[in-house]
Structure 1
Amino acid sequence: MHPDTVLITGCSSGIGRATARAFLDEDWTVYATARNPADIETLGDAGAKIATLDVTDDDDVERVVSRIVDEDGGVTALVNNAGYGQLGAVEDVPVEQVHRQFDVNVYGPHRLTRAVLPHMRDAGEGTVVNLSSLAGRVSYPGSGVYCGSKFAVEAMTDAMRAEVEEYGVHAVLVEPGPVETGFAERAAAEVEAGGDVPGVERSGAYPKLYEILEDMTAMGDDGPGAVPPEAVAEEIVNVASMTKPPARVPVGPVAAYGQYARFLPDGLRDKLYGLARKFL
């Protein structure tokens, strides 16, 4: 087995692309994947092995993992990065969109993890890095479905960490706050346009909430506390290289301090959200 082989999902932009380059800089064998291979051609030019991978497709997952096993003997590190954020009031998000959110953000990492864990166990080593978020620790209005998917990833990773420890395998959560990737801008554009097909179905009950969401471009990726994707990539490479990585790695000041909001009494946290709604 190649001692330094990493499989990364969602490499077309942002954190995934930066992570692929960071691993290449450390001389890992990098399998960079995306739904559209044209989006990652430059990573191939830089030395990565590229592959088409839709994390919601079982056949894609099996094909890519089998290729890595055939070519390199196994996967040293899996980085489950692919994901997106479904915004909207919980009432306004159709059930099919909730299914789609969980299929990408929760079932996708689960598919990949199930595919690589047998090889990691056989090798007696390996690290699964799941990209979570501050949203995996603290839920907030307008992002209930997205936060729910990240809460699920956190819970599954916590359980898996204890399950695989005896095999020399690690499970780590990387939890960025806002990252300069255009995530908030894309999400806000979807809300403003009615969402991704079939999108949110606005009930008309939450106009102030949508005003805030539509202004996320001003408050999000380029706001105070946002970090470049390279900062997240650096932490991912670090934990994948450790013999005893931590369970969680918050990235950026917003994630580091914002997570403590979960310790506030529910009533106080709700009042703070109410104040934010009035002032924003």
Structure 2
Amino acid sequence: MTKVAIITGISSGMGHAAALYFHQNGFEVYGGARRVEKLQDLKDAGIHTQKLDVTDKLSLRELVDRTVAEQGRIDVLVNNAGYGEYGPLEEIPVENARKQFDVNLFGVDQLTQLVIPVMRRQKSGRIVNISSIGGDMYTPLGGWYHATKAGLNMWSDVLDQEVRQFGIRSVIVQPGGTKSEWSHVAVDNARKNLADNSPYGPLVDRLDKLLSNSFFGATSEDLAKVFYKAATDKRPKRRYFNALSDHAIVTFARTMPNSYKFLISKIMK
């Protein structure tokens, strides 16, 4: 029996690579993104694509209804869509903060609510939520982003306890530094969120320099394989990491918060 997966945010980066990898490994893949012009190569490869806005429940329902109508089931949901609304907490407009939660957390919840009844009828299913090591660690200017990823981690853990009785599991993938456009978008947002004559300009410059000089060893293709493992492990783990270093920094930030605070303050100077 062919397995069926829904993956959000497939226009670029990890989502794009994951859609291809799942398809290459025998899944019927459905997914979308707001930038439909960037989905043509996926469509040509045999992936079922459409315009998708995770903050629009009608858009989400259309994706789920289409998948069920054409395939009759949903085995895996990969909640990948997300972005970083960076900037000083003092200056980020509250509507931008709400948008960050709408995309990174509430959109995840809305889509998952639509998928769970299908999985419950099947008595099986896997929900893979793409968080970040930034759900446990943090840097200045990423306050709202980190809050959404920390919230996603807890949301996923609670969901797992609620739905495992139906044969459904909810797990978290925590990518670290990855070669993608994510960091550029985050820094661009940080600059857009600066007020006129903001005192935080130099801090944004330091963040830009830090991210530009960081060595991002993982590729989107590397993370696609982690997504697949999280989706197909017979005995799913609570958390999935691409590299030991990603797991180590999360453990350090969680178990030694004062030392982590000192370290990140030193790095940002």
Give the structure-1-normalised TM-score. 0.91
| Aligned residues of 1:82 and 1:105 also touching (Cα < 8 A) | yes
| Displacement after TM superposition at 1:253 (Å) | 4.1
| Displacement after TM superposition at 1:209 (Å) | 1.8
Find out whether 1:14 has 2:8 as its counterpart.
no
Alignment partners' CA distance in 2, 1:268 and 1:217:
21
Alignment partners' CA distance in 1, 2:88 and 2:245:
23
2:173 maps to which residue? 174
| Residue from 252, 257, 273 that aligns with 2:248 | 257
| Displacement after TM superposition at 1:277 (Å) | 2.7
For structure 1, the residue ranges without an aligned partner over 5 or more in a row are none
| Displacement after TM superposition at 1:217 (Å) | 4.4
1:62 maps to which residue? 61
Letter in 2 for 1:239: A
Alignment partners' CA distance in 2, 1:70 and 1:200:
46
| Displacement after TM superposition at 1:185 (Å) | 2.1
Alignment partners' CA distance in 1, 2:218 and 2:198:
35
Change (3 A) 1:160 1:275: same
Letter in 2 for 1:213: L
| Displacement after TM superposition at 1:226 (Å) | 2.6
Letter in 2 for 1:153: L
| Aligned residues of 1:126 and 1:169 also touching (Cα < 8 A) | yes
How many matched pairs? 269
| Aligned residues of 1:94 and 1:201 also touching (Cα < 8 A) | no
Find out whether 1:233 has 2:224 as its counterpart.
yes
| Displacement after TM superposition at 1:126 (Å) | 0.4
Greater alpha carbon shift after TM alignment, 8-17 vs 136-145: 136-145
| Aligned residues of 2:137 and 2:254 also touching (Cα < 8 A) | no
- 3-state DSSP of counterpart to 1:227: coil
Runs of 4+ in 1 over 4 A off after TM superposition: none
Counterparts of 1:182-261 in structure 2, within 5 Å, are 182-191=181-190, 194-195=191-192, 199-201=193-195, 204-220=198-214, 223=215, 225-261=216-252
Q: Taking every aligned residue pair, what percent have the same amino acid on both sides?
A: 30
- CA displacement, residues 26-51 of structure 1 (integer Å, 9 cap, x when unaligned): 11101121113221111010011111
Find out whether 1:117 has 2:116 as its counterpart.
yes
What's the Cα RMSD here? 1.7
Alignment partners' CA distance in 2, 1:251 and 1:92:
34
Greater alpha carbon shift after TM alignment, 14-23 vs 266-275: 266-275
| Aligned residues of 2:194 and 2:201 also touching (Cα < 8 A) | no
- 3-state DSSP of counterpart to 1:7: strand
